[in-house]
């Protein structure tokens, strides 16, 4: 009888521990969604203290720290996540984002490469590696990644927008305009595209096309286009 009671107490204790762990995660996740990052981090601290080998605690705390712009701390948590779960690709993704923020571009690219070597058509990783390449001063490599991503997902307006912005930085105005034309079709709610195209047309001395785009921007309440329209389109 005493043995049964002891086992029952142990079982109840284990159940309460598991329940408390789940409740801590739920509360911490809720605090993160509410952007109460200090509270969320404290709750994750409690969960990790009770469950030091559960990678979820470190990963969730890392994403919260990332949202709170605590990039060095988040980097450490994502590294701990990968030590416990080396195949968890989301941790490579977020650690790479932290590394870019910390200007450790080569390390970020290494994290992205780790996943892309096994999944070369992963558009999310191609996008972030392109950003890391661009930030590190390698626009040609960034463009190559975005070209591959666009070829995989031809209907992503965001990809065309990213590639257009990169082409502007590379002074490929014609190429940027072609991509912004795709943005206009694929992201019809993004009306700022008309103002951007107007500015690009001016750069290649196509004033008539520029004025048409500025007028479209004004028709869509993009008030920043008014000055450019008045300066270039009233003759």
Residue 41: how many other CB atoms lie within 10 Å: 21
- The pLDDT, as a whole number, for residue 235 is 62
| Residue with the larger pLDDT of the pair 94 and 10 | 94
Domains in the chain, ordered, with CATH? Answer: 2-172 (1.25.40.10), 191-235 (no CATH)
* Phi-psi label, residue 103: left if phi above 0, alpha if psi -120 to 50, beta otherwise: left
Task: Please tell me the chain's helix, strand, coil percentages from 3-state DSSP, rounded to the nearest 5.
Answer: 80, 0, 20
- The pLDDT, as a whole number, for residue 20 is 60
42/76 Cα distance (integer angstroms): 16
pLDDT in tens, 172-201: 999 999 999 999 999 999 999 999 999 999
pLDDT of 14 over the 80 cut = no
> Of the candidates 135, 144, 75, 127, which has an alpha carbon nearest to the alpha carbon of residue 105?
135
CA atoms within 13 A on the CB side of 112: 26
Specify the DSSP class assigned to residue 209. Answer: H
pLDDT class of 48 with cuts at 50, 70, 90: very high
Residue with tokens 């666009």: 150
Mean pLDDT of 197-225: 97
| Residue with the larger pLDDT of the pair 206 and 12 | 206
Mean pLDDT of 102-120: 98
Mean pLDDT of 75-83: 98
pLDDT of 6 over the 80 cut = no
pLDDT in tens, 52-63: 999 999 999 999
pLDDT in tens, 116-161: 999 999 999 999 999 999 999 999 999 999 999 999 999 999 999 9
Contact 88, 81 (CB under 8 A): yes
Mean pLDDT of 13-28: 65
């Amino acid at each position: 009888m005493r043995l049964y009671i002891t086992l029952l107490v142990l079982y109840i204790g284990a159940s309460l521990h598991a329940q408390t762990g789940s409740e801590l995660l739920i509360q911490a996740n809720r605090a993160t969604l509410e952007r109460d990052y200090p509270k969320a981090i404290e709750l994750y601290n409690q969960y990790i203290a009770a469950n030091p080998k559960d990678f979820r605690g470190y990963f969730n705390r890392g994403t919260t720290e990332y949202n709170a712009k605590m990039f060095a701390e988040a980097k450490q948590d994502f590294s701990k996540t990968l030590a416990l779960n080396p195949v968890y690709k989301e941790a490579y993704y977020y650690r790479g984002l932290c590394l870019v923020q910390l200007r450790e571009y080569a390390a970020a690219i290494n994290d992205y490469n780790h996943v892309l070597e096994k999944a070369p058509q992963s558009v999310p990783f191609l996008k972030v590696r392109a950003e890391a390449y661009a930030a590190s001063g390698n626009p040609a490599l960034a463009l190559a990644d975005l070209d591959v991503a666009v070829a995989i997902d031809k209907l992503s307006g965001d990809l065309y927008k990213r590639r257009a912005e990169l082409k502007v930085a590379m002074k490929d105005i014609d190429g940027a305009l072609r991509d912004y034309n795709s943005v206009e079709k694929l992201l019809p709610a993004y009306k700022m595209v008309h103002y951007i195209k107007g500015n690009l047309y001016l750069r290649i001395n196509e004033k008539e096309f520029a004025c048409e785009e500025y007028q479209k921007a004004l028709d869509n309440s993009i008030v920043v286009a008014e000055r450019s329209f008045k300066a270039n389109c009233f003759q």
